[in-house]
Chains A and B, each alone.
Chain A
Amino acid sequence: MSASTDTATLAGSQRPSRLRLLEPITILWVALIAALLVLVALPLLKMFVISFEEQDTGVFTIQNYLTAYGRQRYLDAVRNSLLLGTLSAAISVVLAVPMAWAVSRTDMPGKGFTWAIVLAAFIMPPYLGAIGWVLLAGPNSGWINVVWRSLTGATDPLVNVYTFTGMAFVIALHSFPLVFIFVKSALDLISSEMEDAANILGGGTWVTMRKVTLPLVWPSILGGFILIFLETIALFGTPAIIGIPARINVVTTQLWQFFEDPVRVEVASAFAMPLLLVTIGLIAVQKLLLARKGFVSQTGKGGERRQVKLGPWRWVLFGWCVLVALLSVVKPLMVLLQASFAKAWGRGFSFDNLTLRNYQFLLFEHDMAPQAVWNTVWFSATSATIAVVLALLVAYIVVRRLIRFADALGFLAMAPFVIPGIVMAIGFYAAYAGPPLSLYGSALLIILAFASRFLPIAYASSQAAIRAVHPEMEEAARILGSGRLHAIRKVTAPLLKTSLLGGWLVVFIVASRELSAAIFLVGPRTRTMSVLLYDLTEQGNFEVVSAFGGILLVITMAIVGIGMKLVGRDFMLRRE
């Protein structure tokens, strides 16, 4: 910390233009670095340290690693997680790439509809989708199988959600929007000229797409793939809801077991460490890919972009989008909605089975539900605010290159992006739950964890936004005597208002459905909707669970609606 201020001061004394850094604003930069250390570096460091400590005594040991990796069951969990991540990511790519290509490059009808579906699949919390699919694809009672049996007379189920592929598929249905966003924005940059060249050389539409267009966006496809892989191995809700009946143990459910009495944070940390190695490996791969992606947008930009005429094939593609829509949004939402208004969901839809009792129970009779709704709203709002303010300031320093090692700040701000959320949560538990701060059970712990976990989202949008604002405008203000902070407040911030609001809303939405990190950090009075929902899933009352999911979706939808009104229709899917 002090080293970087010293260098800044030193540099300032040599170059008059940097003298401004001696303003009180320097204190702010130092505070910023401290904040990033608290939010990102310390939890990880603490986790690393205690993974080598004996519980209670703190003596150095490697026993935790031996315990964490000394049993077949624990190793199986790691293997299952890696396989699950790969499979879910692969299915997501298969689902999303044709959709992205169709929306970006072709004359497929129903593009607005496809956008809406991608958005809906994105805002639907994965554990709600999982519950929906339990109702849809349970081997005996799932609606799909019931219909299948009555149509064909078959005795075997058509689909079974309680399998490895079933679980991977359900996860993919709520992850594919990430691939869609990555690939579509890459496709948008490719000019038709390259495709024209292929056409002139005799390639038809399909050959061109396969040999020219898709290879050009290959890095984005892999980027999306990696991201979904990382999200999947950190997922807790779906493996708990589907994986336990399917008897598939994964890393996250295993970590949960290490928190049983006696709580073995040390072993959990040791167990989570290799996950970080996996992610570091993936960052290396992604770095290579990002380099290539730069290449794509450079050559591709500026050309003309025409839609590919597909003829009757456009209906096939549209059919694909409709199918994805049915599977990812329409069907799960329908069964959840039906269950939420049902007295007994097993009885199916009928008028004498309708009731508002589930909503009434949650809103007026349940001790914790209204509190959880409120917690979710204000935790998400506060953490989104912290993340956006922090991200804006860091992005400003990085983009304007105000201090040396600015890139290190940027790196810290982006790091949580590639750290599985559950690892982050254990780091936070290890660092801040106990003495000296004893934050366990306080709202602050969760807010900080959320802010840290979603800082990269805010950072990415702030960085892009600041890049778009030319420094001249600020410089004009500063020539007229304004200090840097004043210039930021009066000139830069108003220009960035829309993108910042967009970033804030996205953080709010993902924070409001966050489960993997929250499950380890909540106390009795800080339970969020997602955690309460998870607790309710084992209460034999899917009607109430569905109703609570309905309330969560209504809140999210209201926020999305506000976002669309203020920021523009595509604020969630824009990737600057």
Chain B
Amino acid sequence: MFLINRREMLALAAWSVAASRAWADAPMHAQERELYEAAKREGEITWYSGQYNADSAEAAGRAFNARYPGVRCNVVRSTSQVAFQRLSQDQRAGVAQCDVFSSTNGGHYIQLKRQNRLTQFRPVNADGLLPILRIADPDNYFQSSFLGVFLIGHNTTMVSEADAPRSWADILDPKWRNKLAVGHPGFSGAIGVWALQMRTMLGPDFLRRLEANKPQVGRSSIDPVTMMNAGERPIGVAVSANSTLLAASRGNPLRLIYPSEGVVAAISPSAILANAPHPNAAKLFMEFQTGPGLSAAVREIFNESIRPDVPPPVGSRPLSETTMLAPSLEEAERGVPEVREQWRDIFGI
């Protein structure tokens, strides 16, 4: 049901291009225009991002450049934990390089806010986000900029739809021994959040039981998609909907499974660093992220739209019909490092 044929793809692509052009040309509101003028004097903005995958992050950067000529977006894409590591290295060295920081591990923002390392700013466009995303932080130190859905995927030529697991609990069944692939919470923020959620939901020995099934461990949440494409492992655990749909659109035999317990939702913010070298460009970028421009650009590559006025991507189940599971940001700040350490002791890596 999630595989779409070539003609639909082409029609969709044509429509999407037209739509995102329209968004790129949409008139700027007053605050945006003011920021744009100030940002032009700064010339660029550096974006550390672990939220969107490489293709989508690059597309977002290009869309920003197209909408705001004269301000260039430097896209520094990696997994979220690695992006945070870079930020920590910057801080340790006393060097300010990052303007806007985007991570799938919401706990990062609680920490950064507590350490007074964020700038308070509310983009006007935030009022137009999906209702659940409108207020990420009552003090406005960070704003929602990403909604990622993490679920299970399978290679349909290796495991049929009938045999595939149906729930998160199913993947612990010994019959999936040597069949699973999963990312690493030490690299991927989303995998950290996912592991935490699973541990809360399925019990404290979740990681040990997962390990008993000998999953192939990658780094990002996208690595299992590669493993499914290749036929190395038939089941991808905690893959993002968008990377799986993107791979499927390229001709790989993949299908999404919406686990019966619900999907793990990474509702993730972005924030401006207090020492951002380009503060106005950073604010402009926050307007861009919360505005229709970003959603229009990334939905073409199967990412969820975070605004009601931009339709969701083709092939994914509407958010209103899914159960979304997620730990709170405070739980994530405390729990993710802990679950990461536990993971390393159990998996040895």
Contact = CB atoms under 8 A, between A and B. Distances in A.
Interface stretch (A106-114, A363-371, A489-497, A503-511): A363-371
Interface stretch (A60-68, A322-330, A344-352): A344-352
Given A76-B348, A141-B231, A538-B219, A259 B95 contact: no
Given A73-B345, A433-B92, A524 B97 contact: yes
B219 A244 contact: yes
B53 A540 contact: yes
Give the one of B46, B81, B95, B184 with max A CB within 10 A: B95
B32 interface: no
Given A76-B348, A263-B85, A263-B88, A368 B76 contact: yes
At the interface, is chain A mostly helix, strand, loop or mixed?
loop
Interface string A512-545: 0000000010011101000000011111111010
A538 B349 contact: no
Contacts of A304: none
Interface residues of B, number: 60
B223 interface: yes
B222 A440 contact: no
A395 interface: no
B250 A440 contact: no
Contact of A259 (B76, B85, B347): B85
Interface stretch (A187-195, A245-253, A555-563): A245-253
Contacts of A520: 89
Given A260-B81, A344-B251, A524 B55 contact: no
A527 B48 CA distance: 13
A541 B97 CA distance: 28
B233 A140 contact: yes
Contacts of A141: 227, 230-232
Nearest to B76: A524
A440 B89 CA distance: 8
A525 B226 contact: no
A441 B95 contact: yes
Contacts of A244: 184, 217-219, 349
Contacts of A538: 79, 187, 218-220, 222-223
Nearest to A544: B54
B345 A265 contact: no
A141 B217 CA distance: 16
Interface in B228-268: 229-233, 243, 247, 250-252
Interface string A345-386: 111000001000000010001111000000000000000000
A440 B46 contact: no
Contacts of A440: 89-90, 93-95, 97
A540 B95 contact: no
Contacts of B347: 247
Contacts of B82: 535
A540 B349 contact: no
B84 interface: yes
B293 interface: no
B230 A138 contact: yes
B55 A523 contact: no
A524 B94 contact: no
Interface in B64-95: 73-79, 81-82, 84-95
B165 interface: no
Contacts of A240: 219
B180 to A, nearest CB: 12
Given A345-B230, A440-B89, A257 B186 contact: yes
B125 interface: no
A166 interface: no
Contacts of B85: 259-261, 263
Which of B85, B92, B184, B233 has the most chain A CB atoms closer than 10 A to its own CB? Answer: B92
A144 to B, nearest CB: 13
B167 interface: no
B157 to A, nearest CB: 10
A539 B348 contact: no
B153 to A, nearest CB: 11
B19 to A, nearest CB: 19
Interface string A407-445: 000000000000000000000010001110010110000
Contacts of B137: none
B156 interface: no
A139 B75 contact: no
Contacts of A453: none
B92 A523 contact: no
Nearest to B187: A538
B317 interface: no
B42 interface: no
A372 B203 CA distance: 45
A343 B58 contact: no
Contact of B98 (A162, A247, A253, A524): A524
Contacts of B252: 344, 346-347
Contacts of A541: 54-55, 226
A344 B91 CA distance: 40
Interface string B27-59: 000000000000000000010100001110010
A540 B243 contact: yes
B284 interface: no
Contact of B349 (A253, A344, A347): A253
Contact of A139 (B53, B74, B88, B232): B232
Nearest to A535: B78
Contact of A263 (B74, B92, B97): B92
B94 A434 contact: yes
A243 B349 CA distance: 9
B62 interface: yes
A312 interface: no
Contacts of A433: 89, 92-93, 95
Nearest to B59: A365
Contact of A245 (B55, B84, B216): B216
A539 B53 contact: yes
Given A139-B232, A344-B251, A538-B79, A435 B94 contact: yes
A442 B84 CA distance: 19
A281 interface: no
A76 B226 CA distance: 29
B349 A365 contact: no
A481 interface: no
A518 to B, nearest CB: 13
B61 interface: yes
A262 B90 CA distance: 11
A338 B344 CA distance: 35
A245 B218 CA distance: 6
Interface string A23-66: 00000000000000000000000000000000000000000000
A368 B75 contact: yes
B225 interface: yes
A459 B251 CA distance: 52
Contact of A346 (B55, B90, B111, B230): B230
A368 B90 CA distance: 19
Nearest to B230: A141
Given A433-B95, A434-B94, A540-B226, 4 more contacts: A76-B348, A247-B349, A433-B93, A538-B79
29 contacts: A140-B233, A141-B232, A244-B184, A253-B349, A261-B85, A263-B92, A345-B229, A345-B230, A346-B230, A347-B252, A367-B58, A367-B61, A367-B75, A368-B75, A368-B76, A435-B94, A440-B93, A441-B90, A520-B89, A524-B74, A524-B86, A525-B46, A525-B74, A535-B78, A535-B82, A536-B54, A540-B220, A541-B54, A544-B54
* The 5 nearest A-B residue pairs measured at CB: A540-B222, A440-B93, A538-B220, A433-B93, A141-B230
